[in-house]
Chains A and B, each alone.
Chain A
Amino acid sequence: EVQLVESGGGLVQPGGSLRLSCAASGFTFSSYWMSWVRQSPGKGLEWVANIKSDGSEEQYVDSVKGRFTISRDNAKNSLFVQMNSLRAEDTAVYYCARIPIPSGSGHFDNWGQGTLVTVSS
């Protein structure tokens, strides 16, 4: 059974940093593109970033470019996102999700339960 478990969320001040983690199990993690998708009450679901199966390619939504960095450790079956210069509009539940398409351009077939990030002073 595919399992994705996020952690690392919390309350952070504007301008602060946070690192989210996602522990994967039940599938060959190193074979899949992975993503972060977030959900806030005001903006619904929003794709944030993708990373290729071997970590050699990253993609970001414009609003987080230069501030967020997605990474992975295939030896530890783990996905990460380092979030810097956080803004109030980054407040959301962050989901880790798997892309089943080898090209990386695909739907999300498995999701974690999410971790809440709140950016507020």
Chain B
Amino acid sequence: EIVLTQSPGTLSLSPGERATLSCRASQSISTSYLAWYQQKRGQAPRLLIHGASTRATGIPDRFSGSGSGTDFTLTISRLEPEDFAVYYCQQYHYSPPTFGPGTKVDIK
């Protein structure tokens, strides 16, 4: 089973700042098979990015994904108030599909 590690666990930033979230896989995965989700309190996860860098429908362009092999990054260029949430990465290259433990982005 592929283990995903996310860092940092919590990121404290102010609106307007740039957020950089990391996801590391226990072995190399294809860039086609890495996704990012946003989850707000009491809500279901929402797909942000798939294929490591392709934004899902309706996702603002301040969200971008990059990376390859074992290291992937989600960047939020300028944080809006609605972006403070928990973010998860997920791999689907190997079965079973697995998720990282999440990075919480909270207001500084």
Contacts and interface: CB of A to CB of B under 8 A. Distances in A.
B101 A44 contact: yes
B96 interface: yes
A8 interface: no
Choose among A45, A62, A105 the residue with the greatest number of B CB atoms under 10 Å from its CB.
Answer: A45
Contacts, number: 50
A61 B43 CA distance: 24
Interface residues of B, number: 22
Contacts of B56: 109
A111 B92 contact: no
B50 interface: yes
A61 B92 CA distance: 13
A45 B92 contact: no
Interface string A38-74: 0000001111000000000001011000000000000
Interface string B81-101: 000000010101101111111
Contacts of A95: 44-45
Given A44-B101, A44-B102, A45-B88, A107 B96 contact: no
B44 A105 contact: no
B87 to A, nearest CB: 12
Contacts of A111: 44-46
Contacts of A59: 95-96
Choose among A47, A59, A101, A113 the residue with the greatest number of B CB atoms under 10 Å from its CB.
Answer: A47
Interface string A75-90: 0000000000000000
A10 interface: no
A44 B44 contact: no
13 contacts: A44-B100, A44-B101, A45-B45, A45-B88, A47-B96, A95-B44, A95-B45, A101-B92, A107-B92, A108-B35, A108-B37, A108-B90, A111-B45
Interface of B: 33, 35, 37, 43-47, 50, 56, 88, 90, 92-93, 95-102
For the complex of A and B, 10 pairs with smallest distance between CB atoms: A107-B35, A111-B44, A45-B99, A107-B50, A47-B97, A109-B47, A61-B96, A44-B101, A105-B92, A106-B92
